[in-house]
Amino acid sequence: MTLFIEILIFISAMFFIGYPLFHKKGTAFTAGSDGSFNELIHKKEAAYTAIKDLDFDYITGKLSESDYKELKKRYEIEALNILRLLDEYKNKGAVTLTKKTGDERTPFCPQCGTKTKGGDNFCFQCGARLNSVEI
């Protein structure tokens, strides 16, 4: 009985660990994109925290008015810049996405209307250059 349980434990453990090896092929997540986006988000949080701190310290009388105004302006601009970068980042992401779907669809030649194969650069009928999104 014990032996049976032991074998069962062993086999199920091996199965569970081994399963992804055969069923999750493909490359690992690329680090770059996800990472730098996170960094931006954290920078934004840092700037927001700074602004909140300033507000709080000013209201509770720890910061003089001139210091408050100067510092607040600086951190607001910093936050605005981060927001802008984040937006740019998101837009860039959207562009990458469009490219992908564009490749998968089989478009028609803009010149003669012939159906083209995905991945072709020129129309095999009339030789016109096929659209490719520039990144």
Q: Quick check: 103 binds other proteins (CB under 8 A)?
A: no
Q: How far is the CB of 118 from other proteins (least distance, A)?
A: 25
Give the number of residues in contact with other proteins, rule: CB under 8 A. Answer: 62
Selection from 32, 34, 37 nearest residue 82 by Cα: 37
Cβ–Cβ under 8 Å, residues 47 and 84:
no
CA distance 51 to 43: 12
Q: Which is nearer to other proteins, 53 or 128 (CB)?
A: 53
Q: Pick one of 81, 98, 106, 125: the residue that binds other proteins (CB under 8 A).
A: 81
Residues from 105 through 134 that contact other proteins (CB under 8 A): none
- Per DSSP, the residues of 67-125 read HHHHHHHHHHHHHHHHHHHHHHHHHHHHHHHHHHHHHHS--B-TTT--B--TT-SB-TT
114 token code pair: 């012939």
Q: How far is the CB of 20 from other proteins (least distance, A)?
A: 4
Binding site for other proteins (CB under 8 A): 2, 5-6, 9-10, 13, 16-31, 34-35, 37-39, 41-43, 45-46, 48-54, 56-64, 67, 71, 74, 76-81, 83-84, 86-87, 90
